[in-house]
Structure 1
Amino acid sequence: MLTDQWQGFTGLPDYTDPSNIPTYLKNLFDFLGARAIPRYNTVADRDAELASPANGQLAWVAADSTLYMRSGGAWGPALRGGLRRGVKVVATSAQSIPTGESTPTRFDQIEADAALNSAGMWSTADRYNVVIPVSGFYLIQATFSYASGTGSRINRIMVNGQPVREWSWGSANSYYVTSASHMRYLSAGATVRIDHYQGSGSALNTHSQDYPSLEVALLG
């Protein structure tokens, strides 16, 4: 047998080797297959076929649009999507926020480019929540403003109904545009929204020009 000078392949037949084309071809395909990127519909399909993968093996899984790499004896994401994963939703219509209670923002559209709504992260079927398509680290950017009014204000970034970032401010008969960001690991299926609390003593409208927005983008 000859030894290839790339990656140490030892399955190349020499002129003096017995004729055994099927075996030589199988050796070649096994060698190339271990260094290729096979494609699977699900993680279960991947694990069924690649029962004992070597570290460095790659595999694409269509179900979560993820390129996986074997490292340290375990699979982990090498690249998610190959496409952008993110959405920016806005609330262009004024929303009445009652006093003394926490209220989620009702978004009404995707800003500017519908293509930003990758993987259907938001829809009008649920105007309040952005849904995470694949697990990973995400950057969340929330912006909010009231049309007018006095009293204390509290905004919260909510993940799965629980606050993960909170910021507050006061007002003096004018509106303020406030924003906050938060980076967090989120699992597929998690929900993200913005909740608001105001203590003016009466309902206040959100601003319809400098309107509230929520941006969620996958970092990796």
Structure 2
Amino acid sequence: MTSYTPLGGLPYPAPTDTADLPFHLQSLAEGIDARTVLRYATAAARDAAVTTPAAGMVAWLTTPGTLSYYTGTAWIALGAWNAYTPVWTAATTNPAIGDGTLTGRYAVVGKVCHFTAFAAFGSTTTYGSGGYGLSLPVATGPTGGLIQFTGMANSGGGRAQITCQPSSSSGATTYTLWGPSSTTSSAIAQIGSGGLFGSAFASGHFIRVNGTYEVA
């Protein structure tokens, strides 16, 4: 009966097992194989070889020269900046970027994610209705009600610093945006189709957000 090591779950033969050295060595080698740092030329070569990755697997990619790990749902490059496209939503009617620009980049180092997101509005952008939300590149860990992101935005009323709040206290995948609602008050409100300072967004305006948070 095959036994397994208590920490890594690696197989080894019991004293009563039939002697079969090639089989036992193969079982041990296959058990170790998935736990080493795998090495591939490209992400495509990795994905072709590892068709059913397990959470925690680590692979080195010669091109572009980065370590990547599998979260359970996706391969993430460690410490390298990755591109992502934020999802832009609104509470009542979703907006659409049209011929504008909606981009983002992020880097995960250990359990920390650094990200930036940018929305530049174009002539065919539609702004929906209700408060806006933008998606995060990776779900958050516990936020403890403390984490805030910062950014800059402008509308017909001018440019202002904005603040952003994750949508839940743990496992958040989106965040809301807050900024000045008028030129006569210091109060802030959730940013939406109404823009900033009571003046709506239009072509040529933008929203930019940067932040750092603990991942799940």
TM-score, normalization: structure 1?
A: 0.37
Q: For CA contacts below 8 A with separation 6 or more, give which structure has more relative contact order.
A: 1
